[in-house]
Amino acid sequence: MRYMNEDKQFKVVSVSALCTVHNLADSIQLGRAVRKAIEEKFEGNVAVLASGSLSHRFAQNGVSEQFLHKVWDPFLETIDHHVVELWKNGDWKTFCGMLPEYAVKCHGEGMMHDTAMLLGVLGAEDYPGKAEVVTPYFGSSGTGQINVVFPV
């Protein structure tokens, strides 16, 4: 946010969490609390930004150059594309159901806690929206990346 808010024009609350002692449901609950605070205490426009990638298996030393613009494994890339389709179709029940396994088996960045918090803000399984892809999916250093808007 420091690059987007150099003039301090925006009020910013930064939440950073990679906690090893809570689960994704706790992060969804935190997101719900953020939404409640916004709805009850703030008048005006709000943007909630979550930064995280999809699969996040970095290429190790010695082979990293081969993966500068690729995902580590075709399986991870396939699952990432499936996830993006779920988002675009608004199938939040399926995505929320698979999120814990996706976080572990596909090396979700930060165990996907950033995504879980955002889901909490949006309403999790009850979010009525569909993701709008801003930039196409791409691989970078073995990880799966995309920029998406979740409209409210």
Which domains, and CATH codes, for the chain? 24-149 (3.40.830.10)
pLDDT in tens, 26-62: 999 999 999 999 999 998 888 898 887 799 888 888 8
- The C-alpha atoms of residue 143 and residue 70 are separated, in whole angstroms, by 7
Asked whether the beta carbons of 126 and 114 are under 8 A apart, the reply is no
Name the amino acid, one letter, at 150.
Answer: F
The H or E element that residue 92 is part of is helix 92-105
In the 8-state DSSP scheme, what is residue 64? G
pLDDT in tens, 85-124: 999 999 999 999 999 999 999 998 888 999 999 999 999 9
* Whole-number pLDDT of residue 45: 87
Asked whether the beta carbons of 92 and 31 are under 8 A apart, the reply is no
pTM of the model: 0.89
* Whole-number pLDDT of residue 20: 64
Sign of the CA dihedral running 19, 82, 53, 29: negative
In the numeric block, the tokens 């993701």 are attached to 131
